Every structure is written in structure tokens, then in C-alpha cells.
């Protein structure tokens, strides 16, 4: 059960207070930085952080190239769920895209792949059944992923399918789990020609998984 803390503004949940204070127990900056350092070794990269918070990861990224950072409450204040559409319209390209929001990132998919031809993405994905049991977000999950309470395998196979929507091959490099509540996924992205697409498509058995997802609408 969620505990509450009294503040001058009234009563807020401890979780909200920790979020507001950018507590490490919610944001896990060390593990995130370690994962970034392990997979990003190149320099001169073009990097975008859509949920940069107070910049826990920004300094790490800056060692690898130019970093654009956005957050609704900090620094360059933007609503990233809208901003990324503008970036697509502007035909921007990045080598690293970081999606580290509090909620679910599904609204970015599949079109976020238009912003990356070759590179890496770091994606934070909360576990629905731990964080929001019996919640309307189940419906979003059913619509986007074809399942109400996805496992990490459902999430990663959806990332692969969404990549394919824009001719991007997605390789799952690493998944870490925080407090058994949140997954942080590192993927490698490579734009491929439609000719090569067929081979990847068959290898991954995507036809089967996409058919399974579509079955819910029949």
C-alpha cells in the first residue's frame, strides 16, 4: 500500500514526493549511467533526451557528442510527446534516443524510429501490473502491444515489430530491472533495405506475432 506524507500543500504520496525530489530510489541514475557507458563507446554522436529531468544522464551523454535535452519541468521545457512529432517533420536524425519518462512510452511508437537510422535507444518501461493494477492503461497496452499485462518479452517483441514498421531492424542489447517495478531496455537500431527486410521478418517469426496481435480485433 502507498504511504502518504504531509506537506504544506496537503497530502501527497511518498512516491510523488520522491519523484519531485528526483530521489535516486525512483530514478536509479547509477544503473542507467552504467548501462549507457557499457553500450555507447563512440564519440561525435547526435543524442536526444526527451525526459532529461535534472540532468542525471546528460553529463554521461555529453562525453559522446552533442546532446539535446528536453523535459516538461526542467531546462528546455517541452512536452516531448508532442515535440517528437515536430522533430519528425523537421527530418531530424539522432544516433541515440533516450526515453526516460515516468509513464508508458507507447505513444512514441512506431514513429520515433523515423528519427534514427543507425544507433541506440534507451527506453524506460514500467510494469503495468505492479504500478497500475486495474487501471485504464490496460486498454492502451491491449491496443499497442496486443496484451493487457505485458511481460518483458512482449515489450521487446513489440519494439522489434514497431522498428519493422519503418524498415528498422531492432536488436535487444540489454534489459535491466529496477525494484521489480520498471524495465530499462537498451536496443540497437539499424535501417535496412526492404529487400533485407524479408529475411529478418522470417527469422524473427514476426508474421506470427503480428497476426496474434491483430487477432484481438477480429
User: What is the separation of C-alpha 181 from the centre of its chain, rounded to a whole number of angstroms?
Assistant: 15
Q: Are 106 and 140 in contact (CB under 8 A)?
A: yes
- Shortest distance in whole angstroms from residue 69 CB to ligand SAM: 9
By CB under 6 A, name the one of 35, 46, 48, 52 that touches ligand SAM.
52
Which residue, 126 or 146, is less far from ligand SAM as judged by CB? Answer: 126
Q: Are 136 and 148 in contact (CB under 8 A)?
A: no
By CB under 6 A, name the one of 45, 75, 81, 107 that touches ligand SAM.
81
By CB under 6 A, name the one of 57, 115, 145, 185 that touches ligand SAM.
57
Q: Tell me how far apart the alpha carbons of residues 187 and 51 are, in angstroms, rounded to a whole number.
A: 18
Q: Are 208 and 214 in contact (CB under 8 A)?
A: no
Strands 182-191 and 118-126 turn out to be: antiparallel
Which residue, 31 or 209, is less far from ligand SAM as judged by CB? Answer: 31
Distances (CA, A) of 62 to 67, 85, 173: 6, 24, 22
Which residue, 137 or 191, is less far from ligand SAM as judged by CB? Answer: 137
Dihedral (Cα; 60, 176, 125, 67), 10-degree rounding? 10
Stretch that binds ligand SAM, among 38-46, 73-81, 172-180, 189-197 (CB under 6 A): 73-81
- Shortest distance in whole angstroms from residue 218 CB to ligand SAM: 34
Q: Is residue 51 within the footprint of ligand SAM (CB under 6 A)?
A: yes
- The owner of cell 511481460 is 151
Which residue, 53 or 150, is less far from ligand SAM as judged by CB? Answer: 53
Query: Which of the residues 11 through 40 are near ligand SAM (CB under 6 A)?
Result: 22, 27, 29, 32
Query: Which parts of this chain interact with ligand SAM (CB under 6 A)?
Result: 22, 27, 29, 32, 51-54, 56-57, 70-74, 79-81, 100-102
Amino acid at each position: 500500500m502507498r504511504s502518504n506524507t504531509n506537506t504544506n500543500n496537503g497530502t501527497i504520496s511518498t512516491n510523488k514526493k520522491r519523484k519531485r525530489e528526483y530521489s535516486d530510489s525512483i530514478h536509479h541514475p547509477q544503473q542507467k549511467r552504467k548501462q549507457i557507458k557499457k553500450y555507447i563507446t563512440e564519440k561525435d554522436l547526435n543524442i536526444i533526451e526527451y525526459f532529461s529531468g535534472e540532468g542525471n544522464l546528460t553529463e554521461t551523454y555529453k562525453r559522446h557528442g552533442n546532446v539535446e535535452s528536453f523535459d516538461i519541468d526542467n531546462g528546455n521545457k517541452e512536452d516531448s510527446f508532442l515535440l517528437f512529432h515536430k522533430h519528425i517533420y523537421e527530418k531530424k536524425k539522432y544516433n541515440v534516443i533516450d526515453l526516460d519518462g515516468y509513464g508508458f512510452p507507447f505513444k512514441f511508437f512506431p514513429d520515433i524510429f523515423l528519427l534514427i537510422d543507425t544507433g541506440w535507444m534507451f527506453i524506460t518501461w514500467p510494469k503495468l501490473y505492479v504500478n497500475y493494477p486495474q487501471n485504464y492503461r490496460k486498454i492502451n497496452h491491449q491496443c499497442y502491444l496486443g496484451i493487457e499485462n505485458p511481460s518483458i518479452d512482449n515489450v521487446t517483441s513489440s519494439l522489434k515489430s514497431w522498428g519493422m514498421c519503418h524498415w528498422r531492424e531492432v536488436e535487444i542489447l540489454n534489459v535491466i530491472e529496477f525494484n521489480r517495478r520498471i524495465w530499462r531496455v537498451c536496443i540497437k537500431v539499424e535501417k535496412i533495405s526492404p529487400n533485407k527486410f524479408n529475411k529478418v521478418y522470417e527469422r524473427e517469426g514476426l508474421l506470427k506475432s503480428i497476426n496474434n496481435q491483430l487477432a484481438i480485433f477480429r
